Structure 1
Amino acid sequence: MTVPETTAPFRFPVAGRYAGMASSPLKSIFDLAAAAGVVSFAGGIPDPELFDLGTVTAAYDWVLSHQGSRALQYGVSEGEPELRVQAARRVSRTLPTDASQIRVTSGSQEGLFVVAEALLEPGDVVLVESPTYLAAVQAFAVHGARMVGVATDDDGVDPAALEEAIRTHHPRMVYLIPSFQNPTGRTMPLERRRAVAEVLLRHEVPLIEDDPYGELSFTGVVMPPIASLPGMAERTLLLNSMSKLMSPGVRIGWIRGEGPVLETLAVAKAAISMQSSVVDQLMVARYLETAELDAHVRTVSAVYRERRDALAEALAPVLPAGAHVTRPEGGMFLWAALGEGYDAQEMLADAVAAGVAYLPGWSFFAEDPDRSTMRLSFVTHSPAVIAEAIGRLGEVIARHGGR
């Protein structure tokens, strides 16, 4: 065989939808989190010391002892029946649901991709909060959609701005994170949820409601999803995940929906990954059946509240005058806007050199990014580590002031 002579290395042709995407934003988060000697606030990475390891181990042991052959076999695209029953039971606490309305995914991240695969055509418009979850923007964008950011305030998306955006752009769907939003930590009050639902109902626009953080409440109050409001269940796909409640390493989540779209979701799921890991599905089903997940979530939420307080208190004296910082009542993230004259992306290299990492906020905007913003996760580190690291970050912020 003759190999042609060439001076250039071979390059695979890349689909246009991935052109320019040299790295995933999620990969960047994990790279920052793994950097040696760096205290990272970049990713929503749970403290492994808080994992319910003994109970999870017992659930795996039971599955492999009692359902071993089945657990190691192929499964069905819709999800294993036991898990769908348990998922429906949890969703039913705020929205009546049966197992037939559940489609299992490998975490809610895959759920977003499944939704995009099932619903979006190239050129479709998706309305999103400004800012919004960066990996959702990526999942929709690679399917050819155009994201349009809708104005927000401290209560979430502005209903009047949402209505105007619907009239102007005629979107395929609206994507929202109403509870402890990523990246801002904001939560929509009930009246705001009702106002948003009224807009969506009036214009007959579907809602993709992402709720991976809603149970991580620091007050004990878990807000009902928008999907639970009158008229919204049939026009909402509600995404949940076990990643933030039990373990992110077990990639299990689900989509709750109604009607013929459920079959389309199953077809899309089969095309993407055939099915989610059967052994993990059966383990999660066993865990939800036998473990005290609510007690575990209360324990974790109490720790996260203490760490939120530590981060907020450490940031207050080091931020410039006029900076705006959220104080979330749950979830994993705090959002800081430093204000005019600051560029969080330009500042990041100096911060990492000082041993501190965060995620610049510009990547969370579908358009018109505020480059002075940063997202910081408070869940990974102890209050003492947080205080020391934010002191170093404060020195970096002070050096960048007025640039």
Structure 2
Amino acid sequence: MAVEVVMPKLGMSMKEGTVSVWNKQVGETVNKGESIASINSEKIEMEIESPAEGTVLEIKVPEGEGVPPGTVICYIGAGNEQGQEKKEGRGLPKKERKKISPVARKMANNANLDIDTLVGTGPDGRITKADVLQALPDQKEKQTQTQIQNNKTDHQPVNMMRKTIASRMMKSLQTSAQLTITMKADVTKLTKLQPQLNETAIARHDTKLTMTDFVAKAAILSLLEHPAMNSQYQNERVETFEYVHLGIAAALENGLAVPVIRHAERLSLIELAKTIKLYGKKAREGKLLHDEIEGSTFTITNLGAYGVEHFTPILNPPEAGILGVGKMYETPVYQGGELCKGHILPLSLTFDHRVLDGAPASAFLSTVKAYLEKPVSILL
């Protein structure tokens, strides 16, 4: 009997999921646990694994179409079986397609490459990531020539994740009174302490402590001292939380995810570092559940890896604050009356002026700065 594959419900708030890419086509064999499609919802993208071994009998939901959770998107069974819709004569026609890996398919789609024109060098002629990369220079040249000749602009459809980000950011700016303040933390002592701590952290816990881990811990401790920053403005009232559900923004290939570390105030520095890395990995692999990206009370976003120093983060509604971390840079500083090489970490805090004023917001940021400049206080 054919097995139904349904659109999963990834959280209580999920209303619709979209099939972004089919990794298997009608007539292709599939192993249990093998990825058959990529789906995206409002906030996340993930792979759907086959619940059984067999053949893809029928695809009911084409790429780019959104359906409610629980909707059958395809049937898998023995090669001589038929899906329910095919029995009724309304199934999608079988279409022969070249074999291509999920990563290669996504890259080709993003680059507007015609898969039928690609030559696969993988097993059984399967198109690989390397094949797509090989074809990109020629494709870019053709696109440039076509755009010059036709004077046309390339248009890319907006996926659900991008639409959700756009909607939330616009709502954030329109419904809150946002103000950004900046400070510079002298993390010279921290940069000297960090390698020493990492020797033990790697040896005992197989975990490397990053600057983001220290900033996150400093922010958590500061939120406990300044609870007004750990608040939300909703329904004309301010709700302040005793716990810290920390959001860590993670950049993805096609958008942004903010995994939420619940009760971060209970975690040691090592536990926090492990959790940040775990959630970052799940975000990049599209394995975050809706419940793991909801309910944050404060968010941290880091653009230091992109060379950005100070910037203006946009609040993650309905939170009252978001801390931006810039690129650390070297500069001369005085230590004990002597001029030496120091390390400065730029910090940008955006806060909701409806919840708190500039003075308490500055006090919070000053506390974060103090923890980073005296890193031993983070450990005690």
Same fold, judged at TM 0.5 (above):
no
Q: TM-score, normalised by structure 1?
A: 0.26
Q: In proportion to residue count, which structure has more strand?
A: 2
Q: TM-score, normalised by structure 2?
A: 0.27
Q: In proportion to residue count, which structure has more helix?
A: 1
Q: Which has the higher contact order (CA 8 A, sep 6+)?
A: 1
